[in-house]
Structure 1
Amino acid sequence: MAKYVALVDIRTSVQNAQDLVSTWGDIRLEFEEFGVELDGSFAVLGEYDFLLIFEAPDRDTAFKAGIAVERHGMDMQTMEIIPMADFAGLVED
């Protein structure tokens, strides 16, 4: 499976942090339905609110994950990532 990192920004104001936690639970369930494995989720200080690291079987499934997050009132910028060892192999060719 390909690995992705996503920067997430909340579009609406959050009145209750517990609601936000519940939303992430819903998103996690949707990811599982698509066959997406969430490797990590982090709150971020700075321009974005959250960072996600996940694996998806293919690019189309990664798009579905992004759409699922956006349905919950968040913007998601997704990027495919590869391990440095794989990158080094590409550079050597």
Structure 2
Amino acid sequence: MLTVMCLNKHTTFFTALSIIGAKLPALIDVSCINCDMCVPECPNDAISLGEQHYQVAAELCTECVGFYDKPTCIAVCPIDCIELVN
């Protein structure tokens, strides 16, 4: 039996995905102010407006591998609300 400690509402879901080896994208927190800084920086068009804030499509996000040294959405976010899920 595997026990997962839930630190926030996303932890259990993303921890479970990583355990089964699923590809995890960057995660945009609910504190996103929809400033549009990240959208044009994504080389894969993986960022789109969700119901309340921007979100990252897991099937499209490559963490900018092959394009940039690090994920540019994280670099340009003015409020640091984007993080990689590992």
Q: TM-score, normalised by structure 1?
A: 0.39
Larger relative contact order (C-alpha < 8 A, sep ≥ 6)?
1
Greater helix share, 1 or 2?
A: 1
Greater strand share, 1 or 2?
A: 1
Q: TM-score, normalised by structure 2?
A: 0.41
